[in-house]
Chain A
Amino acid sequence: MYIAIVIVGLVAITLILHFASPWWLTPLASNWSLIDTTIEISFWITGFVFIAVNLFLAWTVWRYRHNKDRRSHYEPENKKLEIWLTALTSIGVIAMLTPGLIVWAKVVHVPDNAMEVEAIGQQWQWTFRFPGEDGVLGAANARFVSNANRFGLDPSDPDGADDILIEHHRLHLPVDQPVKLVLRSNDVLHNFAVPQFRVKMDLVPGTQTYQWFTPTREGTFDVLCEELCGLAHYTMKGQVQVETEPAFETWLETYPTFADVQSTNAVNLASGETRYQSCAGCHGADGQGNDALNAPNLTHLDSRYMARQLQHYRNGIRGTERADSPGQTMATIAQSTDVESEADLLAYIESLDPVDVGGTLSGDVSNGQRLYGACIACHGAQGDGKVLLSAPALAGQSDLYLKRQLEHFSMGWRGKHPEDQFGTQMRLMTRTIHSPERLRDLLAYIATL
């Protein structure tokens, strides 16, 4: 008996939730309003069936509940009724499928005036590539990926030389310009999804896929990877910033072409050594750092990582928190360093012999090893970091420095700035540490590497 009432109640709750809830598709920011329309159509049709079937069910259960003086009606089948129901259902299905297929035809056909852009996925970051002057994306293959050629472009393909490489997780796009987003993965499956654009597509290693859309609204939107791509899948986020054509052009000009990246300038180690003298005060003559001055060991770090950190210090991305005095100090120093000769300096630091700073913290090493399982993928089993994944070395680093940085990540002192992609990921990852004891265990393990 109650079941009839409950079913009516559940139908009512479903309707209330549907019409009154604040949770619905995010406001559209692309041309795909037709997809929303198709969803609307499906809603009305399925909603009608849902209400009709369940209310009839509830009424039937109530009306024909057990009564010992009554017998069930005997009717094996009713052809006419069944044919009617089949026909009506078919009409409903056709009414949903037809608009769906019409819209799909539009999804499949990329307009001729679409601008081609490539999105590249790798565990667990996004990078992008524009075709440059010639309007053609050069050939690429995961086989070519190396520290010097992080996008895996074919060096022998002349079309690739002028391709503009965006080694940043934010893609800028001009508003109202159709975009054909070519998708490529260098490692595993990924998926490029922007909820506000409605379309999504997998990135499949070994082949190219695509999707197209026209951004219609200015603003910044999240790019999510929506195909499970390993441990840190949930941290693989990017952004799309939609802006006016001139702003877009200005932004694009700040990025180098493949040819620019390939032609490396010779570095001057002697100049670097001279420049380093101003750093040696805190970081030590051998670059081994100094815990008393809160200066980390630089000898294991790669120049890409250090360059990125200097840039972050300089641009107010790292070291902005007032209570973080070492960070504040470094930010001030970074402001005054000479950007032009930075490459020399970093090359010199990279050339220093690695020095291992012993651990000072004690903890449960075996528990630390378990916790380190979440770090291995990027920082390596030996903690020596992976340049290609933008992960710095941890082994040999001062554990007090690592402790401070992990605390900063978890408190949001570091990695909160939207420009700091890897900081954001570290912020998500450090949340799994949970307690000071576990942090000590982890650091005690890293000290053994």
Chain B
Amino acid sequence: MTHIAIADQEPELHHPRTFIGKYIWSQDHKVIAIQYACTAIFVGLVALMLSVVMRLQLGFPDQFDFINPNMYLQFVTMHGMIMVIYLLTALLLGGFGNYLIPLMVGTRDMVFPYLNMLSFWFYFLSVLVLLASFFVPGGPTGAGWTLYPPQSILEGTPGSGMGIVMMLASLAIFIIAFTMGGLNYVSTILQARTRGMTLMRMPLTIWGIFTATILGLFAFPALLVSAIMMLFDSILGTSFFMPAIVSLGEATDYEGGSPILFQHLFWFFGHPEVYIVALPAFGMVSDVLSVHARKNIFGYRMMVWAIVIIGGLSFVVWAHHMYVSGMNPYFGFFFATTTLIIAVPTAIKVYNWVLTLWQGNIHLTVPMLFAIGFIFTFTHGGLSGLFLGNVVIDLPLSDTFFVVAHFHMVMGVSPIMVLFAAIYHWFPLVTGKQLNTRLGMIHFWGTFIGTYAIYLPMHYIGFLGVPRRYYALGDTSFIPDSAHALNANITIAVIIVALFQLIFIFNLFWTIKREPKSRINPWDAASLEWHTPDVPPHHGNWGRELPTVHRWAYDYSVPGVVKDFIPQHVPDSEVVYEPGYDRFTSGREST
């Protein structure tokens, strides 16, 4: 908090000289972003492996002796927690947020570079604590990623001793890391924008990250509070969430607490968390679609408002995760209504993405394919959300595989499609090289079709009433054998999709090692980050002088202009018009 904004300092003040200063204890937002991204992708791969093991058990029950009910629940829990928090939140905000914010708003670095560095190292520590929980006695917690008490801290649930304590500690450290990062992102966006960068000239990526960060800052305290209170219950024996209960035949000392209180706190964090992941993805996909369709984003203002409205509404819908939790059933009326209202701005975003493509000039590059794939998967996932949000439909469907299919579609596959789009899109900026297109295409088709093959049938398993978090189904009267066969097919699809991700990892290494340098700004993007003096940008990003912004980030195919895009920092006087084009009658010059 005691730093002076970078913009006010001498540009070369903090130039690191040693290797460690440059790459380990770096205060450069770009290095920190890459550190965040690599760590997040690494834990993401761990979580992917866990899901494959889980699916092996579900698809081929009891065929593999390396998994047992304990491990199954632990893997379910760790898969969920890692994917939601340590991969998606960290990669979208810590990775892309860090890299893109200073470049897109035109500043030399985050306003508090030291805090930014601390943020990464706290995040790294939280990942270490999380992974260490695999090796403590009893293993990691197996309480489900929602960590509902009482079972999460009672015998009978895997990892109810050390495991859950490590999980909660790791979350607390993560939240501290996120808060340090988040204060930075918000202050940088509010305070350090370059000349001419008005709020409404910011790319939607920044709007998405900005709103998501504010959501994170306001929502994570709920998780922190519930984690601390649960640690009290677990270690000190208090009864915040613990009623008088018997545990596996033994009376406990707990008295009078309320498990539902925890659920309210958890979901007060948990629902905004969905949008903490979704909003940056919304923003980034908007930019990718616009650049590769050579067309401005359709209805920019509506897109910004939608992001802000969705962010605001996300704080008043949390209890739709709790329709069958035993809370006061009258809450159902309120929360079903707010939940379905949120569908309207979300639908507008989908329409505007499609309308951005409409009448465009669509280059089907790899990032564009992922972005189009995202529209499809997100539409599907969003629509199935209308089932679950509508309180009565949630009765038969909640806690079944329908829920699993829905949230994987909407906050698993969709943000990951955007992440891939973003990685393929911004890779030339980060490394100066374009990811191999042929490998990228193979990766896209395997991922897009493969994930749909996983999650489309899973909805129907849910309709049948197959419950989630079951190690094995056993004999039931209502599940036909064909559904078991379907489950096996889903597992095969999972394995295939997982293998396709290896192609992506291979592509990263291959490109860095073998591919030639690509042209600067290979997609002809107009937004500021592509117009640094050096690519990849050097420490300090902009040479001697910060750029001045003269327009929004979406001046593509402007009528009468020779080139099909005008970079944000180009003043009107330097725009080259076609001979004979009268720009004063084209309507653009009036307010």
Contacts and interface: CB of A to CB of B under 8 A. Distances in A.
Chain B CB count within 10 A is highest, among A7, A61, A101, A145, for A61
Interface residues of B, number: 120
Interface residues of A, number: 122
A256 to B, nearest CB: 22
Interface in B325-372: 325-326, 329-330, 332-333, 336-337, 340-341, 343-344, 347-348, 350-352, 354-355, 357-364, 369, 372
Interface string A273-286: 00000000000000
B572 to A, nearest CB: 16
A143 B244 contact: yes
A72 B343 contact: no
Q: Most chain-B Cβ atoms within 10 A of its Cβ — which of A66, A371, A387? A: A66
Contacts of A259: none
Q: Which of A21, A64, A67, A199 lies at the interface centre, i.e. has the most chain B CB atoms within 10 A of its CB?
A: A64
B460 interface: yes
Given A53-B350, A89-B343, A195-B478, A66 B362 contact: yes
B383 A377 contact: no
B362 A189 contact: no
Interface string B446-472: 001100100011001101110111111
B114 interface: no
Interface string A4-43: 0011001001100100011111100000101100110010
Given A145-B251, A373-B70, A209 B326 contact: yes
A3 B372 contact: yes
A24 B383 contact: no
Nearest to A424: B474
A224 B476 CA distance: 9
A142 B244 contact: yes
Nearest to B330: A108
B286 to A, nearest CB: 14
Contacts of B471: 233-234
A220 B247 CA distance: 31
B557 A226 contact: no
A200 B395 contact: yes
Contact of B69 (A38, A186, A232): A232
Nearest to A219: B477
B358 A195 contact: no
Interface string A173-194: 0000000000101111101010
Contacts of A142: 243-246, 251
Given A97-B337, A230-B156, A237-B474, A72 B293 contact: yes
B150 interface: yes
A25 B463 contact: yes
Contacts of A199: 395-396
A416 to B, nearest CB: 9
B294 interface: yes
Contacts of B486: 23
A155 interface: no
Interface in B116-160: 142-144, 148, 150-151, 154-158
A270 B257 CA distance: 48
B464 A195 contact: yes
Given A90-B344, A187-B154, A7 B301 contact: no
Contacts of A54: 376, 379
B302 A205 contact: no
A211 B33 CA distance: 50
Contacts of A198: 395-396
A76 interface: yes
Contacts of A50: 379-380, 383
B486 to A, nearest CB: 7
Interface string A49-81: 110011011001100111100111111111001
Nearest to B486: A23
Contacts of A232: 69, 156
Contacts of A401: none
Contacts of A60: 354, 357-358, 360, 362
A374 interface: yes
Given A24-B460, A35-B395, A378-B248, A77 B150 contact: no
B390 interface: yes
A196 B154 CA distance: 32
Contacts of A93: 340-341, 343-344, 386
Nearest to A225: B467
Nearest to B241: A206
Contacts of B558: 74
A-B complex: 9 closest residue pairs judged by Cβ atoms = A206-B243, A195-B465, A209-B326, A388-B249, A73-B359, A226-B399, A72-B295, A188-B151, A434-B65
Given A26-B464, A57-B372, A89-B344, 10 more contacts: A10-B449, A17-B460, A22-B482, A77-B299, A82-B351, A85-B351, A86-B344, A188-B154, A195-B478, A374-B68
Interface of A: 1, 3, 6-7, 10, 13-14, 17, 21-26, 32, 34-35, 38-39, 42, 45-46, 49-50, 53-54, 56-57, 60-61, 64-67, 70-78, 81-82, 85-86, 89-90, 93, 96-97, 100-101, 103-105, 107-108, 122-123, 141-143, 145, 152, 183, 185-189, 191, 193, 195-196, 198-207, 209, 220-222, 224-235, 237, 371, 373-374, 376-378, 386-389, 424, 427-429, 431-432, 434-435, 438
20 contacts: A23-B482, A26-B478, A32-B395, A54-B376, A56-B354, A60-B360, A89-B347, A97-B336, A123-B156, A142-B251, A189-B148, A195-B464, A195-B478, A222-B476, A231-B156, A232-B156, A234-B472, A374-B69, A388-B246, A431-B472
